């Protein structure tokens, strides 16, 4: 095992004792690959039935499935572009699964990019509640935003901030906080051998210091009675059990409810650690989760200038056959606002974000240019299934050769034929009932509206 650092191997031998040979042998075993299926888009069983090489289920994650990379390339399928599943390392599905998230709650994913766990948390909220996702690195935060949009996380706010600044803006605000911390990444050596080559023993204590700071910020964001999951993809005890024990020592109102290690020699997945903690509070606090009142009414607070509102209404009439139909897409209780030509739905319970680096304050519905409304990719991906079915649309099927070819042409950014009887206006291009994006009919053709940064690239 020449490519594994000696200092790492020596420490693992001390840590694992009699299990060390089995651990070492796991580096010769093939690694498991997985994907998380968004139940709102497609049932896991349905996906497994349609695509060969998908399944069986990942034991510790509902909607998690293994796939056989010799049989299927899930990133090269129109369903991937439709946000039906997120390709995720199986062990990485555990931490989000552990948070007892329920509809309507407020959830913070503090170290979120590229967003695998945000997708899991968002799909658990199913278009309700509030999900704040954050990553302090601008480029990673942009990748996070793209996944928020692709997977239709309409209730998400995307930040690029440090944990202490988030703690100041959201004191005791969240029901659940996930800290999927930056770590020395030892659990990823099998998947990414280049990480092993750059690893240094001193990383462990450097990351441990950073993790303690992040956890301190996370604790301030959590309400009494709320839950916190801390996780890493490393083996070092300093970053895992010891980190959690030190945190619990310093924060006497937190109780460690459970910890779990996933070892590559024991499960089909890479190395992972997760701890579930609960912040104590006054008696009965645990029930607060279920008793927070929902939004008062299903009405919408639309704060748009008259000409902007009529542009949206005109678009809605063309696509859904009614000027006010677009309002049905919006979760109740929020507000629709215009910010520099961008039309957004924002959550009603959002505190002031002034001074924070905000990549997205809500669901981007579209933009206004020359008094016309242009629907966004985020709108296409976030529309509820019933509204996708009601839209003026082209529905292709990936289960037939022609439908597959046309969807791939659309995803590459090419012009495709318009559906019969549709020669003008916006069309929602769909695959097997799932939205892919917008196009504009011009005679017998559809002008492609698929965003350049999202396109299918061959190879
Ligand atoms: C393990 S990765 C997160 C993976 C992500 N949760 C997912 O499931 O896709 C850790 C993330 O923490 C971010 N990070 C680094 N320093 C941070 C800090 N001080 N506070 C919060 N996040 C930080 C990194 O940019 C990185 O994206």
For the Cβ of 111 lying below 6 angstroms from any atom of ligand 1, the answer is yes
Assess whether the C-beta atom of 143 lies below 6 angstroms from ligand 1.
Answer: no
Is the beta carbon of 55 within 6 A of some atom in ligand 1?
no
Between the CA of 207 and the centroid of ligand 1 the distance, in Å, is: 12
Q: Does the CB atom of residue 140 touch ligand 1 within 6 A?
A: yes
pLDDT category, 298, cuts 50, 70, 90?
Answer: low
For ligand 1, whether the C-beta of 182 sits within 6 Å is yes
- Return the residue whose CA atom lies nearest to atom 6 of ligand 1: 112
| Cβ-count burial 425-449 (b if 16+ within 10 Å, e if not) | ebbbbbbbebbbbbbebeeeebebb
Distance 343 CA to ligand 1 centre (A): 29
> Is residue 366's pLDDT more than 70?
yes
- Tell me the C-alpha distance between 362 and 364, whole Å: 6
Is-catalytic flag, 233?
Answer: yes
Task: Name the residue at shortest CA distance from atom 16 of ligand 1.
Answer: 182
**Beta-sheet strand order (sheet of 254-262):** 254-262, 272-279, 222-232, 174-180, 106-109, 130-134, 156-159, 358-360
Residue that has been written with the tokens 């600044």 in this structure: 165
Per-residue pLDDT tens digits for 183-231: 999 999 998 889 999 999 999 999 999 999 999 999 999 999 999 999 9
> Could you tell me the distance, in angstroms and rounded to a whole number, from the CA of residue 60 to the centre of ligand 1?
22
CB of 217 sitting under 6 A from ligand 1: no
**Of 193-207, 292-306, 400-414, 434-448, where does mean pLDDT reach its minimum?**
292-306
pLDDT grade for 290, boundaries at 50, 70 and 90: very low
- Atom 10, ligand 1: which residue's CA is nearest? 182
Q: What is the pLDDT of residue 300?
A: 82
DSSP state for residue 180 in the 8-state scheme: E
Residue 116 assigned ligand-binding role: yes
Residues 177-192: pLDDT tens digits? 999 999 999 999 998 8
Residue 283: the pLDDT is 44
DSSP for 80-114, please give it.
HHTTSEEE--GGGGHHHHHS---TT-EEEESS-TT
Q: Mutate which of 90, 182, 220 to test ligand 1's pocket (most atoms within 8 Å of Cβ)?
A: 182
> Band of the pLDDT at 253, cuts 50, 70, 90?
very high
Check 160, 221, 233, 430 and give the catalytic one.
Answer: 233
Q: Roughly how many angstroms between the first and final C-alpha of the chain, as a whole number?
A: 32
pLDDT in tens, 128-139: 999 999 999 999
**In the predicted model, what is the mean pLDDT of the chain?**
94
Tell me the average pLDDT across 140-150: 98
At the top level of CATH, which class does the domain 392-451 belong to? mainly beta
Complex ipTM more than 0.95, yes or no: yes
Residue range 20-43: average pLDDT?
96
CATH superfamily of 21-288: Vaccinia Virus protein VP39 (3.40.50.150)
**How far, in Å, is the centroid of ligand 1 from the Cα of 2?**
29
In this structure, of 258-262, 280-284, 423-427, the range with the lowest mean pLDDT score is 280-284
Distance CA 120, CA 452 (A): 26
Helices then strands, each counted (H, E), the chain = 16, 22
Q: According to the annotation, is 114 in a ligand binding site?
A: yes
Q: What is the pLDDT of residues 4-30, one digit of tens each?
A: 999 999 999 999 999 999 999 999 999
**pLDDT of 69 above 60:** yes
- 232 DSSP β-pair partners: 273
Check if 214 has its Cβ closer than 6 Å to any atom of ligand 1.
yes
């Amino acid at each position: 095992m020449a490519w594994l650092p000696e200092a790492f191997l020596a420490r693992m031998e001390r840590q694992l004792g009699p299990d060390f040979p089995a651990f070492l042998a796991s580096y010769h075993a093939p690694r498991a690959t997985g994907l998380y299926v968004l139940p709102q888009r497609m049932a896991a069983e349905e996906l497994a039935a349609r695509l060969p090489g998908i399944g069986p289920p990942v034991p510790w994650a509902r909607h998690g499935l293994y796939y056989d990379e010799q049989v299927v390339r899930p990133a090269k399928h129109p369903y991937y572009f439709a946000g039906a599943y997120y390709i995720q390392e199986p062990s990485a599905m555990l931490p989000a699964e552990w948070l007892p998230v329920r509809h309507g709650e407020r959830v913070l994913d503090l170290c979120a990019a590229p967003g695998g766990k945000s997708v899991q948390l968002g799909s658990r909220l199913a278009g309700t509640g509030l999900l704040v996702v954050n990553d302090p690195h601008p480029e990673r935060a942009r990748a996070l935003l793209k996944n928020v949009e692709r997977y239709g996380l309409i209730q998400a706010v995307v930040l690029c901030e440090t944990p202490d600044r988030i703690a100041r803006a959201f004191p005791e605000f969240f029901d659940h906080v996930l800290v999927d911390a930056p770590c020395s990444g030892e659990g990823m050596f099998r998947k990414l051998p280049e990480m092993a080559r750059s690893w240094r023993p001193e990383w462990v204590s450097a990351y441990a210091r950073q993790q303690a700071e992040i956890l301190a910020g996370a604790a301030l964001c959590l309400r009494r009675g709320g839950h916190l999951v801390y996780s890493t993809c490393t083996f070092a005890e300093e970053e895992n059990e010891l980190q959690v024990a030190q945190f619990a020592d310093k924060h006497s109102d937190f109780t460690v409810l459970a910890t779990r290690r996933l070892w590559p020699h024991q499960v089909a997945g890479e190395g992972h650690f997760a701890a579930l903690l609960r912040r104590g509070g006054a008696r009965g606090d645990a029930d607060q989760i279920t008793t927070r009142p929902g939004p008062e009414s299903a009405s919408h607070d639309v704060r748009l200038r008259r000409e902007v509102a009529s542009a949206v209404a005109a678009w809605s009439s063309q696509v859904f056959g009614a000027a006010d139909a677009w309002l049905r897409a919006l979760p109740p209780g929020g507000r629709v606002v215009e910010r520099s030509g961008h039309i957004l739905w924002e959550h009603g319970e959002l505190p002031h974000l002034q001074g924070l680096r905000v990549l997205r304050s809500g669901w981007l519905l579209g933009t206004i240019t020359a008094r016309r409304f242009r629907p966004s990719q985020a709108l296409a991906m976030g529309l509820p299934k019933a509204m996708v079915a009601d839209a003026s649309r082209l529905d292709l099927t990936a289960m037939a050769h022609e439908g597959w070819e046309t969807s791939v042409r659309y995803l590459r950014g090419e012009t495709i034929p318009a559906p019969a009887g549709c020669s003008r206006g916006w069309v929602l291009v769909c695959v097997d009932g799932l939205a892919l994006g917008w196009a504009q009919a011009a005679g017998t053709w559809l002008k492609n509206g698929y965003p350049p940064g999202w396109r299918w690239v061959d190879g």
